[in-house]
Amino acid sequence: MRDRFAGSRAGGILAAIWLGFRRIMRRRWAKVLAIILALPFVALFLLWLIFARDLPSAESLLNYEPPLPSYVRDIDGEPVHSFARERRVELQYAEFPPELINAFLAAEDRTFFDHGGIDYPGFVSAIFDYALKAGSGERARGGSTITQQVAKNLLLGDEYSVTRKIREFFLARRIESVLEKEQILELYLNQIFLGRNAYGVQAAARAYFDKDVDALALHEIAFLAVLPKAPNNYSPERFAERAIERRNWVLGEMERNAFISPQQRAEAQAQPLGTVRGPSRSVRNVGGYFVEEVRRQLVQTYGQEAERGPNGVYTGGLWVRTSLNLELQEAAETALRDALARYERGRGWRDPGLSIEVEGDWRSRLVQADYGVGYPDWRAAVVLERSREAATLGFGDGSRGTLPASLASMPRRGTGTPAFASLRPGAIVAVEQEGAGWALRSVPEISGGMVAEEVATGRVLAMQGGWDTRGGESFNRATQAQRQPGSTFKPFVYGAALDNGMTPASLIVDGPFCVWQGANLGQKCFRNFSGGYAGPQTMRWGLEQSRNLMTVRAANQVGMDQVARMSRRMGVGEMAPFLANSLGAAETTVLRITNAFAMLANQGRELRPSLIDYVQDRHGRIVYRSDNRCAAMENCNGADWDGGPMPRPPLRTRQLMDPMTAFQLVHMLTGVVERGTATILRDLNRPLFGKTGTSTGPTNVWFVGGSADIVAGVYMGFDQPRPMGGYAQGGTLAAPIFRQFAQTAFKDMPVVPFRAPTGIRMVRVDRRSGQRVFGAWPTADPRAAVIWEAFKPESEPRRTIRRDEAASEARRPAARPRAAARSAEKSDDSDFLQREGGIY
């Protein structure tokens, strides 16, 4: 009864309230008041409907990954280059010093930890200021909280409008509902632009003070907190006083908010700015053409930014491990540049034809001209003024120097006038310091390319594609220039001959050879580079001496279709089955033919030239690996050894050439170094093979070869092919480049012989006739009459017995002495092999 009574009493109270509410709402003033109270909610709904309905999801910030630069590492894992449009290093919230966080809060949003994303008084004030300044051209005060700045920077953009401000309002509220305050601050401090292409406080600490954030002093932290509003307005170089004034204001705000003590504030305000001109290079940005080729391959696979996925080269934060050997790269750069400079020496000064305005900011114009001078001790300079005795030079760092007329006295190319007379204000030139002054230098017109490759794996260790990648020189002649290889192609002609029954001791006639090309073209007659004929000679001699007539005759005998097939199989390139192509008339690249020679040294097994070993994304996951054999193995990545046999990786590649044929070619090509066209390399004192080449004109000169460990190829020639001069040959211009490179590359490497595959028979032969020799032994003399020659089974020269020899044999007293003599000869063979350490 009591519960029923209580229920009826409560119902009566509610009914009375409802009747009272209806009685009030019938009055006019109550309706007006209700409408007034509802208007803000209606307006808010309409604003959301118009501006905020299609806003990006705040949840996307939970997985937000800022653009990060990609880093390239060398063969030892050291960073050597970076690909970046925004300099940024991402940190976690715990890695930011508390003083740094407090400085940014004091400068940007002191109530950050108290508000819900919007500072309402500041927001209303900013809108009122915008209304007052509308149409005046003056920009209104911001009034944005840190949360609003995160919304603007990451999701909305920097449009200056009321629409963006309203959208920013709604999005900031969403962000606060999704993220913790610490997460919002982490996004802000990693993303904010602070000038000098620095995004985030860590990159800015490096850009302005060359320190990490945890090493910054209080006055340095306060300066960084000045920068978010307008970094250019507080540039230490142009507006130092304004920057100090604003920094001191931040320190004062930190004291007012009890973040620091008055003593700390006073000590920090007494300090100078202490900024540096730029960070020291923790990444050396070296490698030139090699790294540019890496960039091309990465862009082709992953894209430049996020258009093909999260691993864009400039935004994905990739870690790229390459096969770049810095010591060999520097050796290749220096060797090629030295050769190009030697060729140009004595031809006069070559005007690069570049000029800029010297009025105003000439320094920026000079830096943007990006003139490639090659050598590290050469510098690009602009002529600021010239008198009769000297010229005043300006450099990219703003410094100046003097170029005396005596150090620019060489004639300008094509004229008899001194180069100094051709200098004019605004001209960009290359100079090198000599004593207290600067000497004029000439950047060569001729160019070339060079590649060094590891035989065992195909990894490219060094690559130089010209004089310098700067100044429009990004064209990589090592990978992109299609050139006639000349005689460096001949080994593959003889390889086809060896596969079709010939041997290194086969006699080929070095004599006139002509072919009928049809009624329109008539008869084509070939000739040797030096002219003349030598009659029947061994294949070895023809390869060592690079005889054109012997090569064409061998190609004609086995068929050019076989030669073309060999070229295609070894990756040299496609070619039409014309006899002229047996002399290297078809085009290829340095990388292709160097890889083909590396496969010869690898006993004919396929190699795929690679610059990138593997690629990791920003989280350390491997997204590409050049050697993926582990994927085909069981227990390759086992956590623990199970006691069983260690897994054996499968062979990576196919057998493209008979290993015995490959070794025969390598063995013959060692003769090119010992007594042929590349004897300049003999003093390197290690087993080397190689082949020189000179194309018709001569327009290109080549050398390709190396050791059992490293093979390198190089060519020289003009970009628009033209004759280099009658004296230009591969042995005189290209082989010295390899020699200079090898002196560095092989300096500390063990001497490794070329190893013969199973089945090869090493036989003593007469070097000139190819006939088998008994009773004589090869010596260390490169021109010894007797040499070791490599034969396939059952292909070596047979011993012949003429009638008089047979009669003399019959007159011998007994067979036993003959058997004893044969036994002694075998014993001598065995003793010799033991003394020589075996035959390779």
Residues marked active site are found at: 108, 487
Dihedrals phi, psi of 614, to nearest 5 degrees: -160, 165
How many other C-beta atoms lie within 10 A of the C-beta of residue 643? 5
Q: What is the C-alpha to C-alpha distance for residues 448 and 461, in angstroms, rounded to an integer?
A: 18
At position 538, the amino acid (one-letter code) is: T
Q: Secondary structure of 754-778 in the HEC alphabet?
A: CCCCCCCEEEEEECCCCCECCCCCC
Contact (CB, 8 A) for 462 and 452: yes
At position 743, the amino acid (one-letter code) is: Q
The one-character DSSP state at 154 is I
Contact (CB, 8 A) for 70 and 84: yes
Dihedrals phi, psi of 68, to nearest 5 degrees: -125, 145
Contact (CB, 8 A) for 663 and 675: no
Closest of 95, 81, 76 to residue 202, by C-alpha: 95
Closest of 108, 142, 109, 112 to residue 125, by C-alpha: 142
User: What token pair was written down for 540?
Assistant: 């070895």
Contact (CB, 8 A) for 112 and 136: no
* 547 CB-contact burial (10 Å; exposed 0-12 / middle 13-18 / buried 19+): buried
At position 76, the amino acid (one-letter code) is: D
Contact (CB, 8 A) for 172 and 147: yes
Strand blocks (E) in 405-446: 428-434, 437-441
Dihedrals phi, psi of 418, to nearest 5 degrees: -60, 150
Determine the 3-state secondary structure of 160 from DSSP: coil
User: What token pair was written down for 391?
Assistant: 């010229």
CA distances from 232 to 82, 237, 242 (A): 25, 10, 11
Contact (CB, 8 A) for 191 and 153: yes
Q: What is the C-alpha to C-alpha distance for residues 411 and 260, in angstroms, rounded to an integer?
A: 68
User: What token pair was written down for 533?
Assistant: 């004929």
Contact (CB, 8 A) for 445 and 724: no
User: What token pair was written down for 614?
Assistant: 């593997």
Cis peptide bond N-terminal to 121, omega within 30: no
DSSP characters for 640-690?
Answer: S--SSPPPPPPP-S-B-S-HHHHHHHHHHHHHHHHHSTTGGGGGG-S--EE
Determine the 3-state secondary structure of 503 from DSSP: coil
Q: What is the C-alpha to C-alpha distance for residues 671 and 273, in angstroms, rounded to an integer?
A: 68
3-state percent breakdown (helix, strand, coil) of the chain, nearest 5? 40, 15, 40
At position 266, the amino acid (one-letter code) is: A
